[in-house]
Structure 1
Amino acid sequence: MPLLARSVQTPLHVQVRRGAVADLGRILADGRISSGGEVAVVVGPGLGERIVDLLRPSLQSATVHVTTGGTLDAALELAAKLRSGHYDAVVGIGGGKTVDTAKYAASRWGLPMISVATSLANDGIASPVSSLVNDGIKGSYGVHIPFGVIVDLDFVENGPDRVNRAGIGDVISNISALADWELARQVRGEPVDGIAASLARMGAEAILSMPGDLSDDTFVTTLAEALISSGLAMAVSGSSRPCSGGCHEIIHATDSLFPDTASHGELAGLGALFCTFLRGDEPRFRQMAACLARHQLPRTPSDVGLDAEQFARVVQFAPRTRPDRYTILEHLAMTPEQIRQKLAEYDDVLTAL
């Protein structure tokens, strides 16, 4: 009997350590990505100068491009610049906006892309998706998964705590997303990819109960690896399904109705906790609520500056952001009055914890 197997795309190289940015030239050469360092380095306006100073000794032939990032226009502008040069690869260094911009631009011309994360805000560092704003609306664009993923713990340590804490919310939201995926399997017969689910679940479970915080290298390394695993889960499944359910519908609805309310990861944690409450999964709810509190992440709408009526509007609008996705929000199909009632119960339960 023949054995059937499938091939999945994964980064060729993954490194999570200190000093990775300064050592980038050797990493690219050892990985046979670029022996001469003829790469396009994409940085954001914030850390740009410091990063370039660190890179020059090991990447003297690199061309540096500064991008404001985060929008489709910025990604297309960068892609036009890349077309005029001759590069072995594109190296995106920075936070999520810079990395997503570089991923999209590199994919336009089939160039290998290396993701170098200086913060741990979300799982975009290793995913085959670029989140970019177009005409004021954030959309997800399919791209090639990065050929390499590097996390420099020196930069993470010196970055804003709030930015890095947000990654915790994004990781643990996988638990809610996977519950929604299982619900879709039971109700609609939607197939669940077991490998993708395992990859998404492992990192989330580790962070959910792991002691320590962002001052601990072991915790930060585990968080980085969990975010990378989430990206791999999406690559394996061919969609964002293992990491995106009702929790992410709430993110997109908030971004549409009340822009700049909070970061992606902060809203992911809040959305996941509320969706878990709606499922009536009390053990998981308590576990997630404790994790969010431990890491000073939002648990209630008021924590992100929304009142009950505003959040009710978000929840009502959320299913419209992903019409093809079946989650607990679509399953319950709550009326505005039912949403307000559930939200009041949710606040009461949190207060009693």
Structure 2
Amino acid sequence: MSKDYIITARKLKNNYVIFLFYKNITEIKTALIYTGSDNMKTLIHRIAIPSILEVGKGNINNVGNLIKKSNFKKVLICFGEGIKELFGDSIENSLKEAVIEISKTEIIKDINFEEISIKAFEISNDVEALIGVGGGKAIDAVKYMSFLKKLPFISIPTSTSNDGFSSPGASLLVSGRRMSLPAKTPHGIIIDIDVIKGAPEKFIFSGVGDLISNITALHDWNFEEEHGKIIIDDFAKMISKKSVNSFVRTEFKTIKDDLFLKELVDSLTLNGISMEIAGDSSPASGSEHLISHALDKFLEKPELHGIQVGIATYIMSKVQNHRVERISKVLRETGFFEYVKTLKMRKEDFKKAIDIAPSIKPNRYTYIHVEENRILAKKIIDEDEILNYILV
């Protein structure tokens, strides 16, 4: 028998799910066999997951060797603003040592949908892969360019402000407003813990806020299924739940501990995979994300995505009456709440966002889509001790 793959099976009610994990993974093939019927049928579900996943210290100096295994001969690199000056030489030298030609380097200054689309179709036809290096903007831009050109891309985040470096969606500006567009799950994710550690702490706080939101997002997802709106993908749910639970149980002294950062990075990576499996963002995005997206619509200068999401997660955990203590403990012990206090974010903005939130995704049915829950959320903002401390 060939040993190129591993087979596992899991029984779900009267159905059997068979998972084929290939050792040189570029996808998982899932065969779901329905039993209890004369007409047995098989569903093949293909899931794109990273072929390269490297998280460790010193990886920024070893990019060439890490991607060489995929046999890329020519690549295009996109850097975020200010990133090439910091890491450009290390990455370019490692690619040259691995005999990988650099077609061109770009600096991503804007994430305007039209401009990114034009850049995509200017890419030379002999380019075999794209590399995105930087924060959310650079990664989102390259992700969408690779989607348009049907090319694999390598994600090299220099901060972990959200799970965008591993997710299958791209957040771009369309007519001046942020919108989530379909894109590609990365072919490779390369993360240097030392680089992440060197980023400003606000990006780590943002990553914490984005990850902790899995708790309220999953509760919203269950709520939708209980009301007959959707059918949950159990495998995606399991991955999302495991990722956040692993993180919140991690012991740490400071948020720059190597183990803490590795757990944060690993868990955010799993978020991207859970969304790929589910086919949408539901395993990691619920009512708390809708509140953040609503803030983006009317605030002149929104805060980092994960910061807004983290605050909204705390609010919605109280509305849901679900794992409030765990969420508040993580946000308190990491210093998230103290950081938010310095931003002087307004209670009235969150109240306005709560009213707008259901219109962001009217096809969903989360806790925030119920009027009574919106009333309760706004009452919590006025009366909760922590929110009165961190918001003005």
TM-score by length of 1: 0.91
Question: Are the counterparts in 2 of residues 316 and 334 from structure 1 also a CA contact under 8 Å?
Answer: no
Correspondence 1:66 to 2:102: no
**Residues 304, 245 of structure 1: CA spacing in aligned structure 2 closer, same or farther, 3 A cutoff?**
farther
Partner of 1:344: 382
Partner of 1:297: 336
Matched to 1:26, the amino acid is N
Partner of 1:138: 178
Correspondence 1:251 to 2:251: no
**Residues 335, 204 of structure 1: CA spacing in aligned structure 2 closer, same or farther, 3 A cutoff?**
closer
For 1:59, what is the secondary structure of its paired residue? helix
Correspondence 1:231 to 2:267: no
Alpha-carbon distance, 1:311 to partner: 1.9
Give the share of equivalent positions with the same residue, in percent: 25
Larger-Rg structure:
2
Partner of 1:41: 77
Q: Which runs of 5+ in 1 are unaligned?
A: none
Correspondence 1:286 to 2:325: yes
Structure with the largest fraction of helix: 1
CA distance in 2, matches of 1:350, 1:133: 33
Match of 2:169 among 129, 132, 144: 129
CA distance in 1, matches of 2:144, 2:177: 17
Matched to 2:90, the amino acid is L
Once the two structures are superposed, the pairs formed by residues 87-236 of structure 1 within 5 Å of their partners are 87-212=127-252, 213-236=254-277
Q: Which runs of 5+ in 2 are unaligned?
A: 1-14, 19-30, 33-44
**Residues 307, 215 of structure 1: CA spacing in aligned structure 2 closer, same or farther, 3 A cutoff?**
closer
User: How many equivalent pairs are there?
Assistant: 344
Alpha-carbon distance, 1:308 to partner: 2.8
Matched to 1:326, the amino acid is Y
For 1:312, what is the secondary structure of its paired residue? helix
Greater relative CO, 1 or 2 (CA 8 Å, sep 6+): 1
Partner of 1:306: 345
Please list the CA deviations of residues 247-269 of structure 1 after superposition, one character each: whole Å capped at 9, or x if unmatched. 00011011112142311111111
Question: Are the counterparts in 2 of residues 253 and 314 from structure 1 also a CA contact under 8 Å?
Answer: yes
Correspondence 1:18 to 2:57: yes
Partner of 1:50: 86
Question: Are the counterparts in 2 of residues 277 and 346 from structure 1 also a CA contact under 8 Å?
Answer: no
For 2:155, what is the secondary structure of its paired residue? strand
CA distance in 1, matches of 2:198, 2:54: 18
Alpha-carbon distance, 1:334 to partner: 5.0
CA distance in 2, matches of 1:275, 1:335: 10
Partner of 2:4: none
For 2:154, what is the secondary structure of its paired residue? strand
- CA RMSD of the aligned region, Å? 2.2
CA distance in 1, matches of 2:260, 2:320: 29
Alpha-carbon distance, 1:341 to partner: 2.5
**Residues 190, 44 of structure 1: CA spacing in aligned structure 2 closer, same or farther, 3 A cutoff?**
same
Question: Are the counterparts in 2 of residues 67 and 74 from structure 1 also a CA contact under 8 Å?
Answer: no
TM-score by length of 2: 0.82
Please list the CA deviations of residues 219-275 of structure 1 after superposition, one character each: whole Å capped at 9, or x if unmatched. 111110000000000000000010110000011011112142311111111111111
Structure with the largest fraction of strand: 2
